[in-house]
């Protein structure tokens, strides 16, 4: 075997790829390049011309192409001496990430035997877009996460090589997250997603990010990954009352269970962080006995007896708590509405049991005080006394009434008066109270004694014994006591020249008339 060299020429091919031809005595190596994915029959190189072989020699020598793996990527057009694409060439399938990607062929001719080595470099075209392993993913992040926190590392792959390979990443939108692009030791670019601005679940609970991977080809290709972010709640909101101050009113004496006011607070957090319960804040006095606060509904109801006369206003502090330890307070002012549940009260402040019957009209008999614990009309009282008696009442000071005489009194006709005071309030329905006093009329000696008969006649037997009771007289006096005590006296007259007192005497006490001498009829 002897070899010889042929000088090789450098030529510009139609498709502008540089061609280098080296020819050995027996083996001449030619290099061509062809983009992947060319149509079947596409021109690769004129092997006859480049090797300086006459086209006829190709034919007569039965030139053929042998590819090591017996594929048919490259065919020889013997008539024209051209190498053409025989079947679809996919660089990525053929070489993966190996670059450059070459097909090693041999062109064999016989008569005489000639062997030429042809290397066809398959050039990458940007026929692959970067792609993420998944198209979508779901993440959860605590809303309290600090800016700078790394959320995720992710990468896309692009089987193309060189400039057509993965070039970089972009994120959209950039409101809360951003990315940092880094390279792994083997040069693969990956994106680090990190938090750039604080999150607020209450404002934005879900976010959708689009991470785009781009290659450097022309035109550029890209692949996207949708990242669904759920912001997890932290207890960063306290409950908020719907009103800053609650006002309510309740009638006194309402039955147990009556709703007074319903508290309502909202908490922007979720779950237990947003679950609000209600509690009394400060419990001074007897609130707990009077009111109940439902922890869950916020209903404040009556549990005891609400008495306007005892307390007209309640101010109760209420706290709304979430289950994560945040709380807010408010106050309710409960006004108690009066109900006419108290009758007037009459008190005798001054009273003399008796009054002289000759008292002049207008004499004060008694002073009374009238009270009603209710308020407003319910506590406004009108007072009167029974009619048909010689008494009247006058309102003097506020709540005081004076009972005076306003007619002629006569003990002998009406020794006693039952005087009934009647107090009525203006409530609806009205309540009233009566009080009766018994007034005695004191006697005045305004009546003279009166004999039962204006004329008495009696007979007596003569020769009577002196000292004989002849008869008795009786006088009555309608006054009482001493004023009614009657004593009898003889009016000094003469009978037959002698004073009458020599004939008879009258017992001052008993009115018995006695003979003082023996009478002689003759």
Ligand X SMILES: *[C@@H]1O[C@H](CO)[C@@H](O)[C@H](O)[C@H]1NC(C)=O
Residues that bind ligand X (CB under 6 A): 416, 418, 438
Question: Could you tell me the smallest distance in angstroms from the CB atom of residue 388 to ligand X?
Answer: 11
Question: Could you tell me the smallest distance in angstroms from the CB atom of residue 367 to ligand X?
Answer: 21
**Cα 136 from Cα 227, distance rounded (Å):** 6
**Cα 323 from Cα 318, distance rounded (Å):** 16
Structure tokens at 266: 């909202």
Question: Could you tell me the smallest distance in angstroms from the CB atom of residue 519 to ligand X?
Answer: 52
Q: Which is nearer to ligand X, 311 or 386 (CB)?
A: 386
Q: Which is nearer to ligand X, 78 or 389 (CB)?
A: 389
Which residues sit opposite 64 in a β-bridge? Answer: 108
* Radius of gyration for the alpha carbons in the chain, expressed in angstroms and rounded: 68
Per-position DSSP letters for 28-72, written without gaps between them: EEEEEEEETTPPTT-EEEEHHHHHT--HHHHHHTT-EEEETT---
Q: Which is nearer to ligand X, 438 or 465 (CB)?
A: 438
Pairing of strands 131-132, 240-241: unpaired
**Cα 203 from Cα 291, distance rounded (Å):** 38
Taking CB atoms, the residue at the shortest distance from ligand X is 418
Assess contact for 313 and 266: CB atoms under 8 A: no
Q: Which is nearer to ligand X, 242 or 416 (CB)?
A: 416
| Cis amide prior to 473 (ω within 30 degrees) | no
The candidate with the shortest Cα–Cα distance to 483, out of 446, 451, 511, 508, is: 446
Question: Could you tell me the smallest distance in angstroms from the CB atom of residue 436 to ligand X?
Answer: 7
**Cα 173 from Cα 211, distance rounded (Å):** 9
Q: Which is nearer to ligand X, 386 or 514 (CB)?
A: 386
**Cα 521 from Cα 462, distance rounded (Å):** 5
**Cα 484 from Cα 197, distance rounded (Å):** 115
The candidate with the shortest Cα–Cα distance to 261, out of 284, 292, 287, is: 292
Q: Which is nearer to ligand X, 28 or 437 (CB)?
A: 437
Q: Which is nearer to ligand X, 438 or 493 (CB)?
A: 438
Q: Which is nearer to ligand X, 262 or 440 (CB)?
A: 440
Q: Which is nearer to ligand X, 286 or 353 (CB)?
A: 353
Q: In what order do the strands lie in the sheet with 136-142?
A: 136-142, 222-232, 206-215, 166-172
Q: Residue holding tokens 């023996």? A: 518
Q: Which is nearer to ligand X, 208 or 348 (CB)?
A: 348
Structure tokens at 514: 């006695």
CA distances for 353 relative to 39, 58, 379, 387, 421, angstroms: 139, 162, 30, 20, 16
**Cα 433 from Cα 82, distance rounded (Å):** 134
Question: Could you tell me the smallest distance in angstroms from the CB atom of residue 416 to ligand X?
Answer: 5
Q: Give 63's Cβ-side CA count (13 Å radius).
A: 27
Question: Could you tell me the smallest distance in angstroms from the CB atom of residue 384 to ligand X?
Answer: 18
């Amino acid at each position: 075997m002897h070899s010889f060299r042929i000088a090789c020429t450098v030529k510009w091919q139609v498709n502008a790829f540089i061609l280098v031809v080296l020819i050995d005595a027996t083996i001449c190596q030619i290099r061509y390049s062809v983009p992947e994915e060319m149509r079947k029959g596409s021109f690769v190189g004129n092997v006859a011309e480049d090797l300086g072989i006459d086209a006829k020699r190709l034919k007569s020598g039965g030139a053929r192409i042998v590819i090591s793996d017996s594929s048919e990527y490259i065919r020889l057009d013997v008539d024209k001496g051209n190498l053409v694409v025989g079947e679809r060439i996919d660089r990525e399938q053929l070489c993966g990430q190996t670059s450059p990607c070459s097909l090693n062929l041999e062109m064999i001719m016989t008569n005489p035997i000639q062997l030429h080595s042809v290397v066809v470099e398959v050039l990458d075209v940007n026929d692959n877009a970067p792609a993420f392993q998944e198209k979508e993913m779901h993440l959860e992040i605590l809303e309290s996460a600090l800016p700078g926190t790394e959320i995720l590392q992710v990468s896309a792959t692009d089987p193309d090589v060189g400039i057509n390979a993965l070039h970089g990443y972009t994120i959209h939108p950039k409101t809360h997250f951003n990315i940092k692009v880094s390279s792994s030791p083997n040069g693969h670019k990956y994106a680090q997603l990190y938090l750039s601005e604080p999150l607020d679940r209450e404002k934005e609970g879900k976010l959708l990010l689009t991470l785009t991977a781009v290659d450097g080809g022309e035109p550029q290709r890209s692949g996207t990954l949708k990242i669904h972010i759920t912001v997890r709640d932290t207890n960063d909101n306290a409950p908020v009352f719907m009103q800053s101050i609650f006002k309510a009113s309740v009638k006194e004496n309402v039955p147990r269970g009556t709703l007074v006011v319903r508290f309502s607070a909202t908490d922007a957090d979720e779950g237990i962080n947003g679950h609000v319960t209600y509690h009394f804040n400060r419990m001074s006095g007897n609130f707990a006995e009077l009111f109940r606060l439902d922890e869950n509904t916020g209903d404040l109801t009556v549990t005891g007896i609400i008495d306007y006369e005892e307390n007209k206003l309640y101010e109760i502090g209420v706290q709304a708590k979430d289950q994560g330890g945040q709380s807010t307070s408010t106050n309710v002012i409960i006004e108690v509405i009066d109900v006419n549940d108290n009758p007037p009260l009459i008190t005798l402040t001054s009273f003399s049991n008796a009054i002289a019957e000759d008292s002049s009209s207008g004499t004060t008999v008694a002073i009374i005080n009238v009270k009603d614990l209710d308020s407003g009309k319910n506590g406004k009282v009108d007072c009167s006394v029974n009619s048909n008696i010689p008494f009247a009442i006058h309102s003097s000071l506020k709540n005081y009434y004076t009972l005076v005489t306003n007619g002629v009194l006569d003990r002998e006709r009406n020794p006693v008066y039952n005087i009934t005071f009647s107090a009525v309030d203006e409530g609806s329905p009205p309540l009233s109270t009566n009080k009766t006093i018994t007034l005695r009329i004191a006697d005045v000696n305004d009546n003279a004694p009166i004999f039962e008969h204006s004329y008495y006649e009696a007979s007596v037997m003569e020769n009577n014994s002196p000292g004989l009771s002849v008869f008795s007289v009786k006088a009555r006096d309608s006054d009482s006591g001493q004023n009614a005590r009657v004593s009898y006296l003889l009016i000094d007259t003469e009978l037959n020249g002698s004073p009458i007192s020599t004939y008879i005497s009258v017992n001052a006490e008993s009115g018995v008339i006695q003979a003082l001498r023996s009478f002689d009829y003759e």
